[in-house]
Amino acid sequence: MTALQKSAVCVLGTGLIGGSVLRAAATAGYRSWGYNRSAAGAEAARADGFDVGTDIRPVLRRAADEDAVVVVGVPMPALDAVLSDIGLLAPECVLTDVISVKTPVLATVRKHELGARFVGGHPMAGTAESGWAASGADLFTGAVWALGVDPGTHAESWERVARLALDSGAVIAPVIAEEHDRAVARISHLPHVLAEALAVAGAAGGDLALGLAAGSFRDGTRVAGTAPELVRAICEPNATALLDALDDALRLLGDARDTLATDGTLGALIDAGYSERNRYDTLERWDITDIRPGDHDWHERLRAAGQRGGVIRQLN
Amino acid sequence: MTALQKSAVCVLGTGLIGGSVLRAAATAGYRSWGYNRSAAGAEAARADGFDVGTDIRPVLRRAADEDAVVVVGVPMPALDAVLSDIGLLAPECVLTDVISVKTPVLATVRKHELGARFVGGHPMAGTAESGWAASGADLFTGAVWALGVDPGTHAESWERVARLALDSGAVIAPVIAEEHDRAVARISHLPHVLAEALAVAGAAGGDLALGLAAGSFRDGTRVAGTAPELVRAICEPNATALLDALDDALRLLGDARDTLATDGTLGALIDAGYSERNRYDTLERWDITDIRPGDHDWHERLRAAGQRGGVIRQLN
């Protein structure tokens, strides 16, 4: 690895995910610094020894000067304003993000004419907590980091962002924006919505019911403990894909409800659920080793490999 | 505590819950033995030093001889046959059960004319695993053990079963059968059904989606790993109450789906779910100390206390 490959990282928004990127990058030996809108968040990061300011302009000027990878870690509603600043102050930098939905991010990036060096990202990690205080350098250890291989993605930019993800301890799942959004609607956004519904339907049983609640309720409602504004910022920008997933869940639950009402059984759902949970438990991620960014058709080949569950564990 | 109070326990069905009762009773110093239908299960228990046979008749004769508390730990579908044997061989014993639904158990017990010494029970503990191998003496440590205070429950029988639950490390939530079933439909059976639906709707995203799945999907589908026949045996006998809970969940999810489709928001669900999960997290169980079995109106007074979230931590 040359000095150029592991050079500089500038993180905009040092909450749980952005803050963890900043920590992981520093731990991996990158020169790194950041920006956070709230003074309290920036101060907390500085107290831990990180160079995080509340004025985005000098932060981005340094990114341009040092040819940093710029990592956008702000929530979706704040993206537009941050991209305006990047367009003015660091338009040539390699740009990535850690926002939980990819199609709206890609559209906004293109609107700002920043698509040439952009690589969409989404590390699949988190906790119910948020903010710098919840961040950690090891949040991505063993996690999967979705990385965009949308048509036109620049190979060298992709490699630089991929290296940052790998150096943070993650493995990379290559994916295009639309397929990413459909997938996370099912395995991240739908779980949030079901957890909220379970919390409400359970609590309708009163203190007796909540007092009897054990592991199944505790685990099933865990992510309902996430701050509501964060849940909305994660789920609502992915409305189209989430609607499909919600309709599937409503159909499955409605069918089980109907067989329970008519013949006292939960029908096919229980066997199907067991079988699919088992499929998840036994899923083995296989390594993509034969496709290099820049190769002929590399976007499409990485996309196809990602669809089949392949991940990248190292760059050649 | 006299020798009579902590005397003998006979467990019928030594799977996860029954096996754990046997272990916990032995650890607490009760004379204890059991029966298990499958030879493999009985053999596993014997290998661990427990007296568990596959012929129910001598097991129940000993229970009658030693005035044991008989604990029924078989699944609901096997209850009828086991109660027939108890009616023949040990009809005078104090009788309890650890089955996850109470109204159908009570009805079956009464059909067998075994109601006089019966106290319905349901320890709120478990794992996705099942069978003797998954059992443990500490499964009930800190758990809540629902105990029936249905009208007519015999005070001394209730005290003996309550003592076993407390000696197993649990606290006791007094409850009548119908209210128990309505409560567990919401905090145990609904979580199972939602987990199954999430597993199926998630896996519909293919290996890409399952490969991107992280904590929210893992936790939300955990109990879908429970053996399907066990899930059906737990949930389906509680069809009436489960239908109410499922209809609530379907309404909440349907409303969220509709606002997402029309105005791009998940509506009131997210705030409500956060608020109710917080209510669960901060729920404090208060101690019932002033009501003794046999007191005037004790059934009704314990029931009312249980409804308000009260638990019994010791017998006076």
Sorted by where each starts, the structural domains of chain A and their CATH numbers stand as 8-175+284-311 (3.40.50.720), 181-282 (1.10.3660.10)
Residues 6+ apart with CB under 8 A from B311: A211, B144, B171, B172, B173, B285, B286, B287, B288
Whether pLDDT at A4 is above 60: no
d(CA A223, CA B187): 16
**Chain A residues with beta carbon closer than 8 angstroms to that of B231:** 266, 270, 274
**Chain A residues with beta carbon closer than 8 angstroms to that of B182:** 205, 209
Task: Give per-10-residue mean pLDDT for chain B (316 aa).
Answer: 68 96 97 97 97 98 98 94 98 97 97 98 84 95 97 96 97 98 98 98 96 95 94 94 98 98 96 98 94 95 96 92
Cα-based torsion angle of the residue sequence A63, A68, A73, A74 in order, rounded to the nearest 10 degrees: 20
Specify whether the CB–CB gap between A19 and A73 falls below 8 A: yes
d(CA B150, CA B148): 6
Nearest to B63 by CA among B11, B19, B14: B11
B228 → closest Cβ in A144, A197, A270? A270
Q: Is A95 on the interface with B (CB under 8 A)?
A: no
Alpha helices in B53-176 (DSSP H): 56-65, 79-89, 103-111, 155-167
Whether pLDDT at A1 is above 60: no
Whether pLDDT at A5 is above 90: no
Q: Output the CA–CA distances (angstroms, integers) from residue A219 to A311, B228, B236, in the order listed.
A: 28, 19, 22
Q: Which pair of structure tokens corresponds to residue A46? A: 């500085």
Q: Output the CA–CA distances (angstroms, integers) from residue B47 to B32, B40, B57, B168, B314, in the order listed.
A: 15, 10, 21, 22, 34
Q: The complex's ipTM?
A: 0.92
Confidence category of residue A43, pLDDT binned at 50, 70, 90: very high
d(CA A126, CA B216): 9
Whether pLDDT at A241 is above 50: yes
pLDDT digits (tens, 9 = 90+) for A16-36: 999 999 999 999 999 999 999
User: B210: nearest CA in chain A?
Assistant: A280
- Report the amino acid identity of residue B112: H
Specify whether the CB–CB gap between B245 and B189 falls below 8 A: yes
Our CA-based measurement puts residue A286 at a distance from the nearest CA of chain B, in whole angstroms, of 10
- Report the amino acid identity of residue B226: T
Chain B contact probe: residue of A226, A248, A280, A285 with most B CBs at under 10 A: A280
Q: Is B21 on the interface with A (CB under 8 A)?
A: no
Tell me what pLDDT residue B13 has: 97
B214 → closest Cβ in A125, A186, A204? A125
Specify whether the CB–CB gap between A108 and A80 falls below 8 A: yes
- Report the amino acid identity of residue B144: V
Tell me what pLDDT residue A28 has: 96
